[in-house]
Amino acid sequence: MEPALRAVCKDVRIGKILIQTNLDSGEPELHYLRLPKDISEDHVILMDSTVSTGAAAMMAVRVLLDHEVQEDKIVLVSLLMAELGVHSVAYAFPKVKIITTAVDKSLDDFLHVIPGIGDFGDRYFGTDGSDCWSDEEDHEQPSY
């Protein structure tokens, strides 16, 4: 998502927040943080490829708020979100704008969005980090 943003907005300042879910506890953990100076004055696009429970996205919003970014200046952009994630973020941070291309109904036992797209990171980087998703089209298709 970052390369696409850079292609459109050549002079955009980029920060990094790495939050991963602890597989044992299911809780998000902050692993890396590097934000531009004076971020408190900026509008911030928070990009997360998939949002399942919303816990990691909410932690990222909290990090931005702790760095004095105003809640109404944060836009969460995601390729895919579960309904739970949308509702969790919207309830916790009602002034954060949410933009997503799709919302799927539920999560599986591994907290992946279903029917979903599998693990975005594994697909993007061509790794096989999980055996709990497949490329088969045997899932019920959403009706639009």
Contact 74, 44 (CB under 8 A): yes
Amino acid occupying residue 117: I
pLDDT greater than 80 at residue 112: no
Q: Which token pair is 6?
A: 């850079």
Q: CA 30, CA 41: separation in Å to the nearest integer?
A: 23
Share of the chain above pLDDT 70, in %: 80
Of the candidates 55, 62, 60, the residue with the CA atom closest to the CA atom of residue 82 = 55
Task: Read off the pLDDT band of 64 (50, 70, 90).
Answer: very high
Tell me what the mean pLDDT of segment 79-87 comes to.
93
Is residue 68 packed enough to be buried (19+ CB in 10 Å), middle (13-18) or exposed (0-12)?
exposed
Contact 82, 106 (CB under 8 A): yes
Task: Read off the pLDDT band of 59 (50, 70, 90).
Answer: very high
